[in-house]
Homo-oligomer: A and B are copies of this chain.
Amino acid sequence: MGKGRLEAFSDGVIAIIITIMVLELKVPHGTDWTALKALSPVFLSYVLSFVYVGIYWNNHHHLFQAVHKINGRILWANLHLLFWLSLTPFVTGWMGENHFAPLPVALYGGNLLMAAISYTILVRALLAHHGPDSTLARAIGKDFKGYLSLALYLVAIPLSFLNPWIGVSLYALVAIIWFIPDRRIEKQIAE
C-alpha cells in the first residue's frame, strides 16, 4: 500500500486545522488600540498553536520521508494523531478567550500530551512494519526528544493549576526544543 494518499490526507487535515484556528480571532467591534489589545491572549494562544501544528507537520513530513510502506494499523494510528490535533482549535480558543485560566491551560497541555502519545504510537506502528534494521529505525534511534517532551508535559499540566504561566512556559519550551526539524531522519537518508 502506497503512502501517497495518507500524506495527502494528512496534509489536508493539518492545513485545515492550522487555518481554521484563525476563526477564533473574532473581529472586534471597536476600531481603536483597546479593541485590538483585548485580543492579545487569543492571538498569543493562536501563535503557540500555529507553531505546534507547524512542528507536527514538519515532523510528519520528515518521518514519512523514511517510510516505504503502510498498512491498516498505520492508517488508524495516523487518524488517531489527527484526532488529537483536530482538537487544537478548541483548546486554543478556550485557553485564549479565558486569558490563560488554570483549567484551560491544563487541558491545552493534556491535548498536547495526547498528540505526543499518539505520535509515538504512530512511530511504533511504522517501526513494527519496517523492521529494526530499516533506515527509519536508525533515524528514530532512542527518540530522546520525544520522551523529554512527554516528561515536560506531565510536569506542566499539574503545575498549571498552581500558576498557569508555568504551564504555558513549559509548552513554549517544548516547542523551542522541536522547532528545529528532526535532523536525525535527514542525516540517515543522506547516508
Cα-based distance from A93 to B65 in the complex (angstroms): 37
**Cβ–Cβ contact B65 & A1, under 8 A:** yes
State how many copies of this chain the complex holds.
4
Q: A1-B65, A57-B9, A72-B183 are in contact. Are A19 and B16 (CB under 8 A)?
A: yes
The segment from A81-89, A114-122, A134-142, A146-154 found at the interface with B is A81-89
**Cβ–Cβ contact A13 & B18, under 8 A:** yes
Interface residues of A toward B: which range?
35 or more
**Cβ–Cβ contact B61 & A5, under 8 A:** yes
Additional pairs, 15, CB under 8 Å, beyond known A1-B65, A20-B22: A5-B7, A9-B11, A9-B15, A12-B12, A18-B86, A27-B90, A27-B97, A31-B98, A31-B104, A32-B103, A33-B103, A36-B103, A36-B107, A50-B79, A72-B183
* A-B contacts, 18 listed (Cβ < 8 Å): A5-B7, A5-B11, A6-B61, A9-B15, A22-B90, A25-B87, A25-B90, A27-B94, A27-B97, A31-B98, A33-B103, A36-B107, A50-B83, A54-B79, A72-B180, A72-B183, A72-B186, A76-B181
